[in-house]
Structure formats: structure tokens, C-alpha cells
Chains A and B, each alone.
Chain A
Amino acid sequence: MQAIKQTSPYVRKQVSTKRMMIDVLIALLPVVIFSIYRFGWDAIVRLLVSLILMIGFEALIIGMTHKVKKTDKTFKEKLKSRYSGYTINNITAPAVSAVIYAMLMPSKLPVYAVAIGAIFAIVVVKMMFGGLGGNIFNVAAAGRRFVSLALTGMFAGVYVGVDMIAGATPLTALKSGMGFPSVLNSYPILDLFTGNIPGTMGEISAIAILIGLIYLLIRRTVDYRIVLSTALTFIALITIIGLKLYPTQWFEFLLYNIFSGGLLFGLTFMVTDPVTAPLTRPGRWIYGLLIGSLIVLIRTFGAYAEGVAAGLLFANMFVPLIDYPKWSSNIIKPRFVISYVVILVLMGLVVYFGVGGAV
């Protein structure tokens, strides 16, 4: 009998990073199926392009960054030692990013634009920061922001609805021209909920996303604190705006804002990305507060109709600050609860007086 040297603990829980990634892929399934149903080959091509590019470039860069041993002589041996650290997570993790990224794209965006964004996301945002677990910014959100900033023109008028007529998304309609109560005529709440609207491939069907969210919450693959905190902040601030601008229709305004745009998709698959989130309970509440307020601020006062990706990337920059060892703590203290409420109230006052002047 051979005895092995180990240190305690000797038993491990039956969980794995691979399983968490696969959970997210499973949760993405309803969204992917819906987008293929809606957009057909357009969706399939863009999904495949981003999947192949992200997984391929991650593999390529891992091969480039790992050293060969001095004893390796043949090409085969060199290849083997270059890919010694290549595991299943080098496939599942970029696959998750790729599917999320593809779902953030409008269906008529040229394939080369999708490809540029995918390569930027995986090479610059992920691998340059050290691969899985090392990236500071959310990979899919950064890729999406890169494409929409570099190729702004392409995002105007390429959103396609169910009857294949290009049109404005519900949020751009709200922002430019139509104004609130009249947009309800073009985009009823029920259509927003089922996905019968123009928009990017993944974010239009609220019901498909909610199925995924419920699955992830039941599996505990995502932290409910971030989801809850972001949603709470968003709902509170939008309700304040709604009550001030449209006192009789504030509830419709709230529903319209929740179901249009990328909020639900971002809430389920992007803000919950653990790699770019803070580590502690209070930290994650603050992170959600930050994202929720930023989305509302960008949507209401900013130049863009859509704010989830930008708000998330902005909040990502604050994560090292939130996690700074001097003040980060996993205990929820009364001091934290009070400051959370105070900041929420302050944000409420800001939007309350802000929108009054804007309209």
C-alpha cells in the first residue's frame, strides 16, 4: 500500500468551475433557441462566428504564452507542453462569453463587425489580463461596447422586428421623438414581455431570459445579491421618475423600462459574472447599487438609449476599490445598511430633481 502526503481538508465538495459554466450555458439555452426561432440563420451564423473565434483565440494565446521545456525536441512534444495547462474551462468559459456576446448583437450587424468585437473581447479584455479569473472587465460587455463605439453607424436602423422591418428599439423610440405614453401604442407591454419587438438577438424576449434567471438562482450559480441589488435600485429610481413625469401611468412606465432594452439580459448573464464582481456580501450589494444607478443615469440623462453594458463596465472599475483589504469585510454591519439606504435616497433625489429640469 502506498500512502500519499496531503494536507487537510481531505474531502472536497462536489462542485466545479466547469459545472458553473455549463449551468450558465444551460440558462442561455431558452434565449438562444428564441433568437434562432426569431432570426434564423442570422442568429446561427453570428453565434458560430463568435464561438469559434473566442474559443480559438483563447487556445491560440494559451499556446503562445506557455513556455516549452528544454527537453522537448519534436514539434509534438513542444505542442504538448504548450498545452499542458489547457483544461475544459478553456473551452466552457470562452463559450459562455461568446454566447452572451453574440446575444448582445443586432441580427443584421455584418459578420465582420461581430468578428472584430469577438477578437477584441477575448484577446484584449480577457487574455491580456491573464485569462480566466484575471479579467477586470466583463468580456462580453466590453466586446459589445467596443463594436458599438468603433462602428457606431452600424447600430442605427439595423434592428429588425418580427415582420422583418427595421426599426427603432423600444428604448431608442422612448429616447428620440415618440415620448412615453405614445410608445405603448407601437410596443405594448405584452410584446415586450414575449419578445415581439426589434432589438438585439438575446435581449428582446423577457420570458426566455427569466427562465434562465430562475434556473441560475435555483442552482445558486449566480449570487442573488447582485441581481436583487441592481433590480432594486433600478426599480426604485425608475419608479421615482415615473411618479414625477407620468403620475397616472407610472406602473406602465416601470414595466416598459424593465422589459425593454438589455436590462433583464444584463441582470441575468452579465452583472452576475463572478470574475468581475466584488468578493464580499456588502461589496456585492454596493456593486449592484452602482450598476443600477448607472443604468438609470445613462438611460435618463446620457446620450445613449441603452446603459447596461456601459454601466457594468463602469462599475467593474470600482471593484478593486470595493475589495480593498483595508475596508472590505464580509460582515453586514448596521453602518453598511444605513449608508446603503442613504445613497439610494440620495440617488432618488438626484433623479427626481434631474428629470424635472430635463423635461
Chain B
Amino acid sequence: MIAKTKYIPDGKKELKKLPILHYLDANYLYYPVTSARCPEGETCVRGGQFVKIGEVIGTRKGAFFEQPMHATVSGEVVGHEKRIDQSGKVVDCLIVKNDKKYNLHSSIKDRTDAEIEALTKDDFVTIVKDAGLVGLGGSAFPSYIKLISKDPINVVIANGVECEPYLIADYSLMMNQPHEVIEGLIYAMKASGAPKGIIAIKKKYTEIAERLNFSLKQFTQYDIKVALVGNYYPQGWELEMIKNAIGINIPQGELLSKYGVLNFNVSTLQSIYNAVKKRLPVLERLFTISGNGVSNSSFRARIGTQVPDLIELAGGYKDIEIPKVLILGGPMMGTNVTRDDIVMTHTSTSLIVLNEELEVEEPCIHCAACVYSCPVSIQPTQIMNAYKTRDKETLKMLGVNKCIECGLCSFVCPSKIHLTEYMRLGKRFANK
């Protein structure tokens, strides 16, 4: 108990066995006009207008970038409504009524190999920017900004670790479409000029290593390797993953590109592949419904699908009389929502529904399990005490800003103290 905790029961074994249901013909699809990174946005279609798959229907505006929105079905624009997006906020959504004809927009054409061969770095950046690609690991950071970096890049890393419990999106992607991931990685290498590529996966996923190595036999002209990294949490944190995959220690707060490293999630690479090869934006993705409060199921669904439809298809909630905790993303770092009218966006990976368990907070007994488990070597319990006395100087001295909010301190605490929440409050207070 007084020891470093690295492993979290992940429940992935059961989820991997679930068949993937295809639900691609929802009647109405919802497209959030704003997102967590883009507080403003506007649409460029009118009610009653017909749109086709891949057509630009609006733009989201962030602090330093713009991001186009694409329709993922063909049909009629019917209006606006409020829904909840991945970040748990209520956002305005544009609604498109699906006409189930799935007409492609005129711009959607496959690029030939010769065309791809001729693409320059700037072309890649433009393609990625126009397709509106963002980091699909959960950060939703625009991908093209990573690609325009001026620093020389030595290695592009595909992050397929997915260390959070209950998530299997990246796993099934690498299992079912290893080619697309590898080709996406090759495009990212071409775009950044990196000679080397690495796909980082968990050590225990030997079946994926085999599959990727088999697929890599067709791409022997590129220097791509599969790196096996640890099975523990938080191995998927990029600095931890880079350390174990290629042995470079990057201090927190530094840009990866300074060290010649570029890091993409495997789903992001697949979307780069689709954008380059097929001129397609992200149209669909895997969405898992899991947890002990709902019938579990895996879906392949279009971006814009309403999650309540999926819940109903899966079999609905279990034990309705018990209050539920709804989580978007993983159970360690995911976002909590209090309504279930959620809309699937690019970055949605799963909805976890847990039956509520009451935890009574006991006094801290200084066992230091949180201090031992902290991946960034800060002292959560001292930070908690400093926050309680509102001691800004001590908070900074203890390095509260290093915290990555991975949730391990709360997870391990035998007194059930919600340390991660104190870390967040401490950060906010120290930076005020």
C-alpha cells in the first residue's frame, strides 16, 4: 500500500471481445459550432440548403488558428440546437438531416501515388489544415501546427499506448487498420522531413506488435520500427512514452520539436492518411460505451451522431434507481457530464457510465502513497496542506504547476482524499 502504484485494473479484456456494431445512418447529425479550443465559430450554410459528405459547413475559430467543420452525411440543413460536446460544455450545434444517399462532395477524390509523391511540405500542411485535423488522443490540438515547426525533426512517434482503463479505440484501430496507421505515419514523416518513424505500443500487446510488423514488411524502404513500452499508467503521457520509446528525456514545458521529436496519436495518423490519400475529413470513429451502469457495446459511428441513440442501441442503462456518473473519455482523466444528450465529435472515444459509490474522506495519515506514485515527483499531500492554508509561495515551491492531473494521487489514497481536485485548485490559486 505504501508503494508506487503503476497498474490500474483496466477492464479492457472484456471490452475487446465486444463486437463492433456499425451505426452509420443516424437520422439527424449534430455538428458543434464551437469547441473547447475554439470559443467562437460560424456556419456558412443556411437552413434548407443541401450539403454533401465532406462539404465545409462552417468554421471554428480559436486563439491562433481556424478549423473548418465538415458534413459527414449528405442531406438538408434543418437548424440549430444546444447539445453537450466532448469537453462537457453546452454548445450550439448545426443539425443536418440525413437523406441516406451519402453523396460525396465534388472535392472528394482519391489522390494517386504519383500525386502524393509530388506533394511538398507546404502541401501537406495545407491538406491537414483544410481537413480540420486535430489531435484525436483527446487534446484536440490542431495537427498542422505541429507540422509547420521550423526545427529539424529526426523522428515521428505514433502514440498507440492508450494507458487509460476502459479505452480500446486505438487498440482496435491498430488491430483492424494497421496499414492506414503506417501510411499516415509515412505521410507525417514526409511532411516533417523525419528519416525515422516509431510506433509505440504496450509491451503486453504482442498481437498488435505482430500485426504491425507484418504490415511493415510492405514498407521496407522506410525506417519504421515498433517500440514496446511499459504497460503501466501513465505510460501514454507523451514525455513518459518518448522516454521509454527512444530514450530521450524531455523536461516538462519544453517543445518536443526542439528535441527533434514529433508525436501523434495513431488515430490522428489515420486521419492524416484519409486526408492525404482520399481527401476526406474525419467521417467516423470507434466509440465505446462501457462501465458497470450501462450495457456495454462498441460502435463505429459517424461524427455528429447523438450518443443517446447509441446508448439505446447498446441496451440502455442498468439499475436505473442508482445514481450514475457519466464520463467522456477515460475514468482517470475524462470529463464528467451531468446530461446524456451528448454529440460525438472528433475527439470522442468513449462514454463510461459508473454506478455512484460513496467515498468518505478520512484524515491524511501521511502514508505517502501519493508521493510515491506521482509520475512528476511532486508531493500531493504537502500541496494539499499548502492550498488549505492558501500559501501561494509554498505552492510554487512545491512545483504545483508540474502536475499533469493524471489522477493517480486520488486513485491510490487509502483515506480517499480527492487530492487531484486539490491539485487543480492549487494550480488555479498559485497562478492567480
Contacts and interface: CB of A to CB of B under 8 A. Distances in A.
Interface of A: 1-13, 15-17, 19-20, 87, 89, 131-134, 219-223, 274-277, 279-281, 284, 323, 325-326, 328-331
Contacts of B411: 9, 11-13
B363 A134 contact: yes
A279 B365 contact: no
Contacts of B352: 10
19 contacts: A1-B340, A3-B325, A4-B338, A5-B338, A7-B424, A8-B333, A8-B335, A9-B333, A10-B332, A10-B354, A13-B412, A15-B1, A16-B414, A20-B1, A274-B365, A275-B366, A325-B397, A325-B398, A330-B371
B377 interface: yes
A10 B336 contact: yes
Contact of A9 (B364, B377, B410): B410
A222 B1 CA distance: 8
B125 to A, nearest CB: 34
Nearest to A330: B377
Interface stretch (B2-10, B61-69, B70-78, B251-259): B2-10
A8 B325 CA distance: 11
B362 A17 contact: yes
B339 A3 contact: yes
A131 B366 contact: no
Nearest to A221: B1
A133 B374 contact: no
A97 to B, nearest CB: 13
Greatest chain A CB density within 10 A among B327, B366, B378, B398 is at: B366
Q: Which 8 interchain pairs have the tightest Cβ spacing? A: A9-B407, A133-B363, A2-B323, A15-B414, A274-B367, A9-B332, A3-B338, A223-B2
Nearest to A132: B363
B381 interface: yes
A330 B325 contact: no
B410 A326 contact: no
Contact of B317 (A1, A276, A323): A1
Which of the listed residues A8, A325, A326, A331 has the most CB atoms from chain B within 10 Å of its own CB? A8
A223 to B, nearest CB: 5
Given A274-B365, A274-B366, A5 B414 contact: no
Interface stretch (B106-114, B223-231, B276-284, B415-423): B415-423
Interface in B302-357: 317, 320, 323-327, 331-340, 352, 354, 356-357
B379 interface: yes
Contacts of A87: 360, 362
Given A6-B336, A275-B366, A19 B414 contact: yes
Given A17-B362, A220-B2, A275-B365, A329 B377 contact: yes
Given A11-B8, A15-B369, 9 more contacts: A9-B331, A10-B331, A10-B332, A133-B364, A277-B368, A281-B372, A325-B379, A325-B386, A330-B374
Nearest to B368: A279
Contact of B379 (A2, A17, A131, A328): A328
B421 A219 contact: no
A89 B417 CA distance: 15
A284 to B, nearest CB: 8
Interface in B359-413: 359-360, 362-369, 371-372, 374, 377-379, 381-382, 386, 394, 397-398, 405, 407-408, 410-413
B165 interface: yes
Contacts, number: 151
A325 B396 CA distance: 10
Contacts of A279: 366, 368, 371, 379, 381-382
Interface of B: 1-3, 5, 8, 165, 317, 320, 323-327, 331-340, 352, 354, 356-357, 359-360, 362-369, 371-372, 374, 377-379, 381-382, 386, 394, 397-398, 405, 407-408, 410-416, 418, 420-421, 424
A8 B424 CA distance: 11
Contacts of A10: 325, 327, 331-332, 334, 336, 352, 354
Best-buried of A5, A19, A284 by chain B (most CB within 10 Å): A5
Contacts of B5: 13
A30 B5 CA distance: 30
A323 B394 CA distance: 12
Given A3-B326, A7-B420, A17 B331 contact: no
B334 A8 contact: yes
Contacts of A222: 2
A328 B410 contact: no
Contacts of A2: 323-324
Contacts of B336: 5-8, 10
Contacts of B374: 330
A325 B362 CA distance: 24
Nearest to A134: B363
B1 A220 contact: yes
A320 to B, nearest CB: 11
Nearest to A14: B9
- Determine which residue in A1, A222, A279, A331 has the highest number of CB atoms from chain B within 10 A of its CB, and name it: A1
Contacts of A284: 368
A275 B333 CA distance: 29
Given A3-B323, A11-B8, A20-B1, A323 B382 contact: yes
B420 A3 contact: no
A175 B3 CA distance: 40
Contact of A16 (B364, B371, B416): B416
Nearest to A2: B323
B325 to A, nearest CB: 5
A35 to B, nearest CB: 26
Contacts of B394: 325
B325 A4 contact: yes
A1 B2 contact: no
Contacts of A5: 336, 338
Contacts of B371: 279-280, 330
A281 B371 CA distance: 9
A9 B365 CA distance: 21
Which of A5, A87, A276, A325 has its CB near the most chain B CB atoms (within 10 A)?
Answer: A325
Contact of A6 (B320, B325, B368, B381): B325
Contacts of A19: 1, 414
Contacts of B324: 1-4
Nearest to B317: A1
Nearest to A223: B2
Given A7-B421, A10-B336, A330-B377, A15 B365 contact: no
A300 to B, nearest CB: 31
Contacts of A13: 5, 8, 411-413
